Structure 1
């Protein structure tokens, strides 16, 4: 059995409402959060080459229903089942080894896009939180159901191919692009639109891992209702979609790098995404019911993000043994959830954000970690007030 946990303590000098003309108001507030507790169980039958893995995540202290203010919806109160605490099965799959270098998995697993596919534990990254540039645009530790084939080549390259269910486009919006499209609001996962994922990671150089990934899949037929349909004159009333669905394919690609060598640690990633027929998705989402609890702001055709962090272990210079890592670090996150939108959609500088972070991470024996950092977020225009955050986090991995 393995587990990891993360607790957050944060001070903000700005108000929660970031949807104002000049940005958030000045404020002084503290927020504490039991961010996550994740339990992992593994079992297997080595003689048959079969392994099973199960991972459940408890977010924000448990499960329940909470009320939150949604400033993207004019300051309305929304009831959020997932925000009041959540128990979520993130991984549940069986793996069959097909020789020494090839394996096939079936079930729920992490989608092989971005850096959080592999580096999601609090000891894997230097910052107090996961990269905002990544979690702002795509689901945080994106997991879906399907089939995965992984091959470790003799040349130090790992290839991962996946076929999974696609996202639900009703939750796409201006602020977080497709990040809320993960299907978890209903009992059953809709898979009428599937997605294909390809990833290549080069691991042949000690301390270095770099690679690329690509995701392509539909989003229209996974909506809760068949409400994004083509219109035609001879429609058959006895068929759900007599003229077919409006296509809204999602394409996401990234290049990523991880370094852990000679006292240095670093992560970097560049990600680009494109949503086809984003105007049609936006027009239909604007008319969704309030009961669906989604933001009904228009979604952009394109999104872009990039981030990097760099730290160096100074523990040896302070006379500490190998059980200690003390790493001052810097991080930059850039994200634009309305990157080069269609002509009729206003390119709002509010959604272009750069976060500059400096901090220190201390890890004991690779198990316990405590971090402290200061971050300043700047919008795409000087008309918006910068937002400062002082954050401390602590957690463990075993």
Structure 2
């Protein structure tokens, strides 16, 4: 203990000991100062550890500094000769009781500041979005966050029978718990479309998007287990609305990479060398029973009584070179049988499903660029198509590029707000190759999308978006859309 801080250390030590006495009704107040000092000596090591943790946490240094003055004032008040306060029974409190009340209050304030900081830092960690990463930054205990999206869609061309819609698309709650410095539970609960409906009416649903335990063992090797997000593409893991442009997630990352995609499993994640991160898991496979002409999306099992006769393996690498600030390059894959020991056209099949994806992102001085490409292959597609009565593509692909630029510094130099026009082009085909003798439906599932719009963020937690999508296919017209919406994180 440093010589220039004796009163602060003494105050914290006394406060912690007395806080313990005040919060356990069955334990009497120390009768003498000698007994009090025995309690202080027993808890001195815990106090030093608490102070050390506070010093290591950069986000809490300022809060701890502000509390030091309060600690010193409380120590002076506890050792002074002020008037006795009346107790609940009408009698005057003893000197020891008065000291206990004052110092217990101050130490409880310190503990609250250390566990639940007033200020939150929003940044992605361990493959999660900014809000979902909050549990990794708390000192210990409960963490709560979330996000939401609501939007209006107006069909403005090739409308046909399409109706304009207004939708509370999703409201999400993150609930995490940090048991200690190396064991962390993280959960995402999603409520879609504002209601699950009434009676036979079907609208939204309530889902567990992920629920996983992380065991942080070493920078290069950590364990993750539970209901986990498949680590593919930009959107599947980091899908909070403030992290992408446009009111709708890219179609390539809905139909080729079927976001949001989660399965039961376990695996490893970490940083091999500075800037090179990986995630690799073993997970239960897809279920080919849900495959459709529109893609593999309905083959996701999502941890709901999943059939686990066949397992799959997925892995991802991301590299952020220090020599090129803001650059991210990476790739991922998912490989596994989807037959799940079921009969198709009278026999069991493997339906080996392969998906490969590469991506690049660069953010530099207000400029933002993204590009992603994905290719998939499905085995035994002919047998699946025959059994299901619709064409299942043996090959599929998709890609998109996107560019945006923050123009707010040009409009308002000292503003911390954000305003970015963006443009995205997508192309995907879920029936890029079909089994011999089966129809590709005239190219209806071969689509390309031109999308442009604006993203405005008055603060980093809120994104107000407007965009226009022109959707075309070889198989006939698809309605164009004007979308207006708001997304938020907390």
Match of 1:307 in 2: 400
Match of 1:50 in 2: 183
Deviations 1:83-141 (A, max 9, x none): x1111001111111122332101101110112213431111111111001220233222
| Separation in structure 1 between the aligned mates of residue 167 and residue 199 of structure 2, nearest angstrom | 14
More helix as a share of residues: 2
Q: CA deviation at 1:252?
A: 0.2
Match of 1:76 in 2: none
The question of whether the paired residues in 2 share the 8 Å contact of 1:315 and 1:321 is answered with no
| Separation in structure 2 between the aligned mates of residue 50 and residue 127 of structure 1, nearest angstrom | 36
Measured on the aligned residues, the alpha-carbon RMSD in Å equals: 2.0
- What TM-score results when the alignment is normalised by the length of structure 2? 0.67
1:193 aligns with 2:310: yes
More strand as a share of residues: 1
Q: CA deviation at 1:25?
A: 5.9
| Separation in structure 1 between the aligned mates of residue 413 and residue 380 of structure 2, nearest angstrom | 57
| Separation in structure 2 between the aligned mates of residue 10 and residue 314 of structure 1, nearest angstrom | 26
Q: CA deviation at 1:264?
A: 1.2
Q: CA deviation at 1:393?
A: 1.3
Q: CA deviation at 1:26?
A: 3.5
Segments of 5+ residues of structure 1 without an aligned counterpart are: 15-23, 68-78, 232-244, 287-296
| Separation in structure 2 between the aligned mates of residue 13 and residue 28 of structure 1, nearest angstrom | 10
Q: CA deviation at 1:147?
A: 0.4
Deviations 1:256-292 (A, max 9, x none): 1222221012222100000000111122223xxxxxx
The 4+ residue runs of structure 1 with deviation greater than 6 A are: none
Match of 2:223 in 1: 104
Q: Which has the higher contact order (CA 8 A, sep 6+)?
A: 1
Map 1:13-28; keep pairs closer than 5 Å: 13=156, 26=160
1:60 aligns with 2:176: no
| Separation in structure 1 between the aligned mates of residue 391 and residue 427 of structure 2, nearest angstrom | 21
Map 1:363-382; keep pairs closer than 5 Å: 363-380=457-474
Map 1:309-328; keep pairs closer than 5 Å: 309-319=402-412, 321-328=414-421
Map 1:353-372; keep pairs closer than 5 Å: 353-372=447-466
Deviations 1:216-240 (A, max 9, x none): 0111116xxx323765xxxxxxxxx
- What TM-score results when the alignment is normalised by the length of structure 1? 0.81
| Separation in structure 2 between the aligned mates of residue 304 and residue 118 of structure 1, nearest angstrom | 20
| Separation in structure 2 between the aligned mates of residue 65 and residue 171 of structure 1, nearest angstrom | 26
Match of 2:207 in 1: 88
Match of 1:134 in 2: 253
| Separation in structure 1 between the aligned mates of residue 280 and residue 346 of structure 2, nearest angstrom | 32
Which of 364, 381, 393 aligns to 1:261? It is 364
Q: Aligned pair in 2 of structure 1 residues 152, 191: CA closer, same or farther (>3 Å)? A: same
Deviations 1:166-191 (A, max 9, x none): 1111111112x10111125x951111
Larger radius of gyration: 2
Q: Aligned pair in 2 of structure 1 residues 247, 263: CA closer, same or farther (>3 Å)? A: same
Q: CA deviation at 1:391?
A: 0.6
1:40 aligns with 2:174: yes
Q: Aligned to 2:400, what secondary structure does the other structure show?
A: strand
1:166 aligns with 2:269: no
Map 1:323-334; keep pairs closer than 5 Å: 323-334=416-427
1:340 aligns with 2:474: no
1:148 aligns with 2:260: no
